[in-house]
Structure 1
Amino acid sequence: MSEKDENVVCMKKELSVTKVTKSGGGQASGGDQGQPAEITTTEQTSEVVITIHEEAIRTRRGEKLKKIWEVAEAAQKQNAEPKIQRVPIMLRDHKIFDKCFEPRVVALGPYHHGKEKYEQVGDKINDLRECYDEKATKDYDDEALAWMLFVDGCSTLEFMYKYEKLEEFKIKRDQVAFAEQDMLLLENQLPHRLLKWLIKKSKIHQELNTSIEGFIRMHGGAPRDPATKREPTHLLDLLRTRMVGCPPSPSTKSGRRSTEGGHSFRNVQELQAAGIHFRYSKTNSLRAISFKLRFQCCGFLYLPIIKVDDSMRPKFMNMIAYEMCSDFQNDFEVTSYIGFLDSLIDHPDDVKHLRKKGIVRNLLGSDEEVAQLFNEIATDLVPNDAIYRNVKTQIEDHYKTKWKTWMAQFFHDHFNSPWTFLAFIGVLLGLGLSGIQTWYAVFSDPSPCDAVCKYLKTHPG
């Protein structure tokens, strides 16, 4: 059989053999029941070679895919709370995103616990186990898991509570920044219910709740909406919910994603040349994207303000990874928002215009870096086209209406600065005054001086 027709899989199985020997040698008998037994354990390794045909591999892959879809559908039907899972492999495959998912300073929870480069609630332990994927906690007994989550939970709350005074504890600013990023990694999440239980046991529960609220708002989350009843799964879920904002009405909501875009899309410079102006939205919700037409020829695209700094890439990449988890039913709002911005930003000049309009706050460096950042984050993403379908339709209709484009181009060419506008107003005033003077010269009644001159001409003597 050729190498192309088969794959060989080698597995090593560790076998533990326990041997019980009675002191004194020989077989155990009723006469030596009182003698202490010597227990020795030896480990043996056996190697098993399994040959798997490619056809069997394809069948197995098909079965796995089918099982994955069945699990996803079952989770959707049960509307189960999503578990804290690993980052999907399709995102981990990109080497440029490696640093977005690995903690640098603080490892929280079981996924990265015990790694050498990281620092290292008994009655509720079963509930807490259910918050994680089963594989994440199988190597920890109840006592070890409870102690780990207790310490990590207290450390998380203490970090947010003492955030403004961390320098007093000789914690450097770069360590603080890395710790903040680590607390928002998907694989580094602690169950939100754990934090709630710890807060209830504290004497400063109000202050701790306020510190969590401040931490979320500092990273771009909106204030809590009293109408929101769903409890967050973890801090990353809470931040995502606050950034996305209120869900749309049932008539416009769509839980289905599509890879077929209904409209071709243009970047900022092309839309600007077509008479579309950019303004920042009144709220920073990722849903606050709208298009309005004024004066029948000028379009205005409103976008939420976004701060671009070193934390943006890992923060958004982990929210996107969370949206891709099979047990989290969502409309891919963050994924779609990044896809929308990526369609607008192709060149540094696109970033420059959005920055001048106050939409992009560039704390990263050059506009070229920002453009590259959006292009990288949007790699291989499949957004939900239904979310911004109305906005894209309005933009496309405006772009395809030629007279609107011509009018917009005229205003753009002749009134693109205050001086050209003032010059135009001056010309209009000059033409107006000349017209008024001509009208009076033709149609006005003769003045008394004209009558005297006429009389003198007709009566010379």
Structure 2
Amino acid sequence: MGCVVELQEAGVNFKKIGEVYNPVNLTKEENSSADDASLPALKEEKNVSLFEIRFENGSMKVPCFKVEDSTETLFRNLIAYEQHSSDNNSKYFTDFVTFMDQLINSEKDVEILRRNRIIVNLLGDDKMVSDLFSSLNKGIIESREFYYRGLCQRVNKHCKQKTNRFRAILTRDYLSTPCATASTFAAALLLILTIAQTIMALISLLKQ
């Protein structure tokens, strides 16, 4: 799966679905697949699980979470616990960090997530957040059942469809603002009128 910038270019939108107040609120009974059908029902919009990342109709919906000074230590401890746990099917924090490391390759990816209110960056520098997830993911032993495998497969399928990429380019370059939209339609109308005028001139010429 590509990073945030690459996914945006392929027509994927990023949306916030709620806020994480307690990052450790996913129980072991919940299914270890990120397919929509297997995920638990969403809690209240303002209090969701850290792991409730979804992909629906071209939109990746991610809970808002804070990245602060204590984040690295917290995740390292939780990942270390999971890596040494005998339960091979429940590595939620490990898989979350792996997934975020796929999404974030540079500070530009962090900036997009921050502008979409998905990441609250209390470190101050977007590059620090990018480096944080890259560092956290080093040396991790991948779980046998990656929690977000189904989601990643759907994202990749979406990105392979050329129409989605074309729609994203059209929206970004020509329909991003009301002014750009008006200019695009005006140019298209002028082109149509020019073609029509040319055709009428040719028809008139042929009749002579």
| TM-score normalised per structure 1 | 0.33
1:285-364, aligned counterparts within 5 Å? 285-293=49-57, 299-327=58-86, 330-364=89-123
Give the corresponding residue for 2:7.
Answer: 271
Q: Which consecutive residues of structure 2, in runs of 5 or more, have no partner in the other structure? A: 19-46, 194-208
In the alignment of these two chains, the number of paired residues is 161
Give the corresponding residue for 1:411.
Answer: 171
1:168-317, aligned counterparts within 5 Å? 265-282=1-18, 283-293=47-57, 299-317=58-76
Summarize the Cα distance change of 1:330–1:389 in structure 2 as closer, same or farther, 3 Å threshold: closer
2:50–2:65 contact (8 Å) kept in structure 1: no
2:52–2:62 contact (8 Å) kept in structure 1: yes
Query: Cα offset for 1:424?
Result: 4.3
2:95–2:146 contact (8 Å) kept in structure 1: no
Summarize the Cα distance change of 1:415–1:314 in structure 2 as closer, same or farther, 3 Å threshold: same
Query: Cα offset for 1:418?
Result: 3.9
Larger radius of gyration: 1
Query: Cα offset for 1:421?
Result: 2.8
Q: Counterpart of 1:303 in structure 2: which amino acid? A: V
**Relative to structure 2, which stretch is displaced further, 364-373 or 376-385?**
376-385
1:279–1:303 contact (8 Å) kept in structure 2: yes
Summarize the Cα distance change of 1:418–1:356 in structure 2 as closer, same or farther, 3 Å threshold: farther
Q: Which consecutive residues of structure 1, in runs of 5 or more, have no partner in the other structure? A: 1-264, 294-298, 435-461
Summarize the Cα distance change of 1:272–1:334 in structure 2 as closer, same or farther, 3 Å threshold: same
Matched residue SS, 1:281: strand
Q: Counterpart of 2:79 in structure 1: which amino acid? A: I
Q: Counterpart of 1:397 in structure 2: which amino acid? A: K
1:323–1:330 contact (8 Å) kept in structure 2: no
Summarize the Cα distance change of 1:418–1:331 in structure 2 as closer, same or farther, 3 Å threshold: farther
Q: Give me the identity figure in percent.
A: 32
Matched residue SS, 1:275: coil
Alignment partners' CA distance in 2, 1:394 and 1:279 = 17
Summarize the Cα distance change of 1:418–1:351 in structure 2 as closer, same or farther, 3 Å threshold: farther
**Which structure exhibits the higher relative contact order, with contacts defined as CA atoms closer than 8 Å and separated by 6 or more residues?**
2
2:14–2:62 contact (8 Å) kept in structure 1: yes
Which stretches of structure 1, 4 residues or more, deviate above 4 A after TM superposition? 327-330
Query: Cα offset for 1:330?
Result: 4.9
Give the corresponding residue for 2:28.
Answer: none
Query: Cα offset for 1:289?
Result: 0.8
1:286–1:333 contact (8 Å) kept in structure 2: no
Q: Does 1:402 align with 2:138?
A: no
Alignment partners' CA distance in 2, 1:266 and 1:388 = 14
